[in-house]
Chains A and B, each alone.
Chain A
Amino acid sequence: MKFNSSLDASVFLKKHLLFFIMKKHILLFPVLLMLLLNHCSNDIEETIETEVVTSSNEATESENDSNNSNSQNTTTTISFDHKEMLTNWADKIIIPSITNFQNSLTEFQEVSKTFANTPTIDNLNSLKEIWLISYLKWQYIEMFDIGIAEEIYFKNRMNLYPVNIDRIENNISNKNYDLDKSSNFSSQGFSALDYLLFGIDENENKITAKYSDSSLNYGTYLNDIISQMVELTNQVKTQWEGSYRESFIESTDNTATSSINLIINDFIFYFEKGYRANKFGIPAGVFSGKPLPDRIESYYGENYSKLLSLEAGKAIEQFFNGKHYDDPEEIGLSLKQYLDYLETDIDDKLSERINNQLKIAKDKILELNDNFKLQIEENNNQMLATYDAIQKTVVMLKVDMLQKLNISVDYADADGD
C-alpha cells in the first residue's frame, strides 16, 4: 500500500490506531515508549542543571509565588517546613549578619580615612579596634558562599591567609595594582589589613611614621583595600535585598542546586576547610608533617587568632541551632530542628551529639594561648588535640548528618549500592 495524498495517510493512521486500541496488550507498547521518551526528556533537563540558582525571577512573579506558597504553608503540618527554615536562615541569620557587618565596615572606612589623614597612635588604635570588631563580625558571614558571594570570590577576597606581604609591598611601592586580579586575593582583605596595621614595622611609632610619609603610599593602599571590601560587601548585601532572597526561600527542593543543599554544603565545607583546616589544622601541621605557625589567622595582630576562632565557632553553633543573629535567645528552624524532625523516634539525638562535640571543642580552644603561634611553638600537641576534637564534628556533619538529610549530590547514576 502506498499513499499519495494526505487523505490516504490519515486512513492508514486510523486503521492502525484502531488496531492498537483493539488489542489490549499491544496498547502497552506505545504507552511504554511514550513513558520512555518522556523520561528521557526529563532526564536531560535534570542533568543540564547548571548553576542558575542566582538567576532569580522577576519580582512580580516571585511575589505571586510567595503568596501561593504561603497559603500552602498552612496545610503543611505533618512534615518539616523547609521554607520556614530557609526564611529563618535568610531573614534572621544571613541578612542581619551581613547588614551588621556592612555597618561596621562603613565605620571602619571612616576611621581609616581619619587615620590616613592624621596618622597618630591614637587613631591607629581606634582603627585597630574597629578592625577587630569587623573581623569578628566577618566570622558569621564567611560560611555563606552562595549567590553573588560565590561569583565574586567574596570569602577569598575578604579573608585569604597567609597574606602575601611581598606582593603587598610591591603593590604599595609600584602604586599600580589591580585588586580584582586573583593573584592579588592574598594581598587584600582582613589579612592584608592585619599586616598593614600590625606588621609593616616593629612598633606603633614606626608604623605611624610610615603612614605619615604620604610618598610611601601606605595610606592610599589601606584605603583602597577597605573601599574594595566595602564595595564587595555592598554587592552581596544588595543581592540579598533584591529578589534573590525570594528565590532563595522558594528553592525548597532536595536537588544539587536548591538553596537547602547549597547552604548545607557551604556550611560543611566551611566547617571542614575555613574553620577546621585554616584556623587549626594547617598551622598545627596536620597536612604538612611539620607545624606552620605563620599560617594562623591574624598572624601580625598576634593575640587575636583564638578570639577569631572562638567567634567562628559561635557562628557555627548559632547557625546549626537556628539562633537569630540579632538576638541569639530567639530560635528558628535550622539544622538542629531538621535533624530532630528526622529522628523523632530516636532517643540518642544526633543534634545533641553534635552540640556536645562543639562544646567539647570550644572548651579545648578556651584553654589555648590567645596567640596560636605561641601555642603551636610551645605545645603543639594541645593544638593537635583541639584539632581532633573539631575533627569529630566533621565526621558527624559529613557522615551522620548528611546521611539523615539524604542531601542529593548527583554525580551520576547510583542504585544505592
Chain B
Amino acid sequence: MLRKYFKEATLHPAPLAVFRILFGLLMLIALVRFWANDWIETLYITPKFHFKYFGFFWVNDLGVFNYLLYSICIISSIGIILGYRYRLSIISFFLIFTYIELIDKTTYLNHYYFISCVAFMLCFLPAASYFSLDADKNIKVNEVPAWNIDALKLFLCIVYFYAGIAKINSDWLIEAQPLSIWLTSKYDIPIIGEILQLNFIHHAASWFGMLYDVFIPFFLLSKKTRKIAFLFVIIFHMLTKIFFPPIGMFPFIMIFCALIFFDESIHQKWISQLRNIIKNIGDIINKSEIVNNKSIYSKHKNHGLVLPVFICFFIFQLLFPFRHLAYPGELFWNEQGYRFSWRVMLMEKKGYTTFKVKDSVTQKVFYVDNSDFLSSFQEKQMSFQPDFILEYAHYLAHHFENQGHENIQIFADSFVALNGRPSQRFIDPNIDLNKQIESFENKKWILPLKDEIYGL
C-alpha cells in the first residue's frame, strides 16, 4: 500500500502553487523588514566577532557584501512568487538564507530554521509546475505525486507536535513559567493588561498552548475539523503576536503555511480567482491567461533521488530533536541539544557572565569588559548559553595573546536565572575555559541546576 501511495497517488498541484506564492511573499516581506530595521548592519556588520555554529566556523559575514546577499535573496523570493526560473530562485534563496543564518548563532530563531527547512524541501518539489511563469503553456501539469504535498503537511505536523510535547514539563504546566513572567509584564496592553495579572490566566494560557500545539496537527489533517482548527490557528498565532511582538514574522508564516492542509479543490478556486483578477486588471501574466482546450495534461514525475532525500530529511527531523537524551543534566539549563528541536518560548533565562583573565605564572588577574567586544544583543545571548561562553572565552584568550599576554587562563564568573528561579552560579569558576575544547561531548564545567524540572 505504501508503495502504491508513493508510486500512484496524485493530487492537483494547486496547493503547492499557493504555498509557493505565499511563502515567497512572506519571505519578501521578512527580508525587506529585516533590511528596513537596519538589522543587516547591527546584527551582521557592526559586531567585531560572531558566534559560530559548531562545524560552520568557515561561514563569515561579508561586510558590505551582506547587502548584496540580501539583494539576491530578495530577487530570489520574487522569482519564487512568480515562479520564474523557480528552481534557480529557490535554490539560491535556500543557500543564501541559510548562509546568513549561519553567520552568527546569536540571532538563532526557530522560525529561521523552519524557513530553511521549508526552503530545502521546496528545492525538490514541483511548486512551479502550475500557475507560474515557468509553467509550460502547452503541456499543463494537473497531477503531482500526493506525497509531494503531504511532505509539507508532515513537516508542519512535526513542528507543532514536537513544540507541543516539549511543553509537557513541570515548569510550563505546573508553575506556568515562563508565561507567568511574560504575561504579567504585559500590563500595558489596553483592557486585557489587567486580566493578564491573574495567576489563573497564566495557567490557562500554558495549558491551552500545550494542548493546541499537540493536537492542532490532527485537527488540521481531519477534513471534518479542519475549518475550525484553522480558525484556532489564526487565533492562537494572533494572540502570540499581541503578547509577544518581538516574535516578528513567525505567526504569519505559520498561519499561511497551515493553508496547505486545505483540499486541492479549494486551492484551485483560490488560484482561479487570482487568475481572474490578474486577467482583468491587465495582461501581466500572458502565459497563464491562455486556457485553451488543446493543451495536453500531464503528470509531474519526481527525479528518482527526491524520495530518498526526503526520507533522510524526515528521519533527521524525527530524531534530531531528541539528541538531548544523550546528555546528562537539565536540558533547559545546559542547553545541550536545545536548538533545532522546536522548543519555542519555553524559557525565560537571564544571565550575567564576566570573564577573568589570569596569568598562570604571575597570578595577575583582570576582568574583561564585555562591551569592548560584543554587541549588547550578543552579550545578552552569551551570558546564559554555555557554547557561547566557551567560544567567547577562546576568542578572549586569542585576543589577549595577540596583545602580548602570556600563560593565559580564562575563568568565567557566571550567574543565570531560569524561569523565575533565583540566580545561581552557572559555570564552574575554577575551570580554565581556555583549556576546554568545543565538541559534542558533555560540558562537565556547567554546574548543575539546583532544582529539578520534570517532563519531556
Q: B-contacting residues of A (Cβ < 8 Å)?
A: 1, 12, 16, 19, 23, 25-26, 28-29, 32, 35-36, 39-40, 43-44, 46-47, 76, 78-80, 82, 252-255, 258, 285-290, 342, 345, 348, 350, 353, 394-396, 398-400, 402-417
Could you tell me which residues of chain B, from 227 to 264, have a CB within 8 Å of some CB in chain A? 227, 230, 234, 238, 241, 244-250, 252, 255-256, 262
Known A289-B366, A399-B352, A412-B39: A404·B422 in contact at CB below 8 Å: no
Known: A35-B252, A416-B247. 8 other contacts (CB 8 A): A36-B252, A287-B367, A288-B366, A394-B352, A399-B415, A403-B348, A412-B377, A414-B246
Whole-angstrom distance between the alpha carbons of A286 and B346 in the complex? 37
Whole-angstrom distance between the alpha carbons of A23 and B265 in the complex? 13
| Contacting residues, chain B, for A285 (C-beta < 8 A) | 366
Whole-angstrom distance between the alpha carbons of A25 and B346 in the complex? 33
Q: How large is the interface on B (under 10, 10 to 19, 20 to 34, 35 or more residues)?
A: 35 or more
Q: Give, as a whole number of angstroms, the nearest-CB distance from B68 to chain A.
A: 21
| Contacting residues, chain A, for B107 (C-beta < 8 A) | 412
Known A25-B227, A39-B252, A415-B344: A396·B110 in contact at CB below 8 Å: no
Could you tell me which residues of chain B, from 77 to 111, have a CB within 8 Å of some CB in chain A? 107-111
Could you tell me which residues of chain B, from 1 to 53, have a CB within 8 Å of some CB in chain A? 29, 33, 36-37, 39, 42-43
Whole-angstrom distance between the alpha carbons of A36 and B262 in the complex? 20
A404 touches B181 (CB 8 A): yes
A79 touches B187 (CB 8 A): yes
A348 touches B182 (CB 8 A): no
| Contacting residues, chain B, for A404 (C-beta < 8 A) | 181, 420
A402 touches B369 (CB 8 A): no
Known A39-B252, A415-B345, A417-B346: A395·B181 in contact at CB below 8 Å: no
Whole-angstrom distance between the alpha carbons of A210 and B66 in the complex? 62
| Contacting residues, chain A, for B186 (C-beta < 8 A) | 254
Please tell me which one of the listed residues A35, A342, A353, A399 contacts residue B351 in the complex, with CB atoms under 8 A apart: A399
A416 touches B33 (CB 8 A): no
B182 touches A40 (CB 8 A): no
Between A and B, how many residue pairs show CB distances below 8 Å? Answer: 156
Known A1-B280, A350-B422, A417-B347: A406·B364 in contact at CB below 8 Å: no
A405 touches B185 (CB 8 A): yes
Whole-angstrom distance between the alpha carbons of A78 and B252 in the complex? 34
A402 touches B350 (CB 8 A): yes
Known A79-B193, A395-B415, A399-B423: A416·B244 in contact at CB below 8 Å: yes
Provide the B261-300 mask, 1 if CB < 8 A to any CB of A, else 0.
0100010011001001101100000000000000000000
| Contacting residues, chain B, for A47 (C-beta < 8 A) | 36-37
| Contacting residues, chain A, for B338 (C-beta < 8 A) | 417
Could you tell me which residues of chain B, from 201 to 242, have a CB within 8 Å of some CB in chain A? 227, 230, 234, 238, 241
Q: Give, as a whole number of angstroms, the nearest-CB distance from A264 to chain B.
A: 12
Could you tell me which residues of chain B, from 159 to 186, have a CB within 8 Å of some CB in chain A? 178, 181-182, 184-186
Listed A/B pairs (7) with beta-carbon separation below 8 Å: A12-B280, A32-B234, A79-B194, A286-B366, A289-B364, A342-B184, A407-B185
Please tell me which one of the listed residues A25, A403, A405, A414 contacts residue B266 in the complex, with CB atoms under 8 A apart: A25
B198 within 8 A of A: yes
A254 touches B273 (CB 8 A): no
Q: Give, as a whole number of angstroms, the nearest-CB distance from A351 to chain B.
A: 12
Most chain B Cβ neighbours within 10 Å, of A40, A287, A406: A406
A410 touches B422 (CB 8 A): no
Residue of A nearest to B418 (CB): A403
B365 within 8 A of A: yes
Residue of B nearest to A287 (CB): B367
Known A1-B280, A416-B345: A26·B181 in contact at CB below 8 Å: no
A40 touches B29 (CB 8 A): yes
